């Protein structure tokens, strides 16, 4: 059941992207290895994709919402398994796992089309 609006999803995307970029320093695993760079690169990718997604909080509406959600799910899966895939689970894994699972969950509960009627009503004022 898809109950989360694309507007709320977009806001969460920008917050999650920012969190992933600062997470290595915030949670103490900024060590120059994959533990640091996987979330940083995914955070940058989330923000760039969000800027180009066809939803209410983007700059250019180029990427369809369905494709965005598919990439979110795949990125979340990569983030969740990255500690074991890249061999740093002995040092840190919880931030990667928790945020990765959250990304997968959000991709499954977000509506696949933005609410254009609401956009039209807001733009009249």
- Per-residue pLDDT of 74-118, as tens digits, reads 999 999 999 999 999 999 999 999 999 999 999 999 999 998 755
Q: Is residue 47 part of a domain?
A: yes
Crossing angle of helices 65-85 and 6-26, in 10° steps, is: 20
pTM: 0.90
* 38 within 8 A of 46, measured Cβ to Cβ: no
| Interval 34-53: pLDDT, tens | 999 999 999 999 999 999 99
Residues in the chain: 125
Q: List Cβ neighbours of 29 (8 Å cut-off, separation of 6 or more).
A: 23, 35, 36, 88, 91, 92, 95
Instruction: Classify residue 125: in a domain, yes or no.
Output: no
**58 domain-assigned:** yes
Instruction: Tell me if 122 is assigned to some domain.
Output: no
Q: Is residue 49 part of a domain?
A: yes
pLDDT surpassing 70 at residue 124: no
Total domains, the chain? 1
Token representation of residue 77: 């899966």
What's the whole-number mean pLDDT along residues 55-74? 97
**Residue 124, in any domain of the structure:** no
Range of the domain at 74: 6-112
Asked if residue 92 is part of any domain, the answer here is yes
């Amino acid at each position: 059941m898809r109950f989360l609006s694309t507007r709320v999803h977009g806001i969460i995307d920008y917050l999650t992207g920012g969190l992933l970029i600062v997470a290595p320093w915030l949670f103490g695993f900024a060590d120059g290895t994959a533990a640091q760079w996987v979330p940083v690169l995914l955070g940058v990718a989330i923000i760039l994709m969000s800027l180009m997604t066809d939803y209410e909080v983007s700059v250019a509406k180029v990427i369809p919402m369905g494709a965005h959600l598919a990439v979110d799910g795949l990125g979340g899966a990569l983030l969740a398994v990255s500690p074991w895939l890249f061999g740093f689970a002995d040092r840190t894994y919880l931030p990667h796992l928790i945020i990765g699972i959250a990304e997968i969950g959000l991709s499954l509960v977000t509506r696949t089309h933005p609410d254009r009627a609401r956009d039209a009503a807001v733009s009249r004022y």
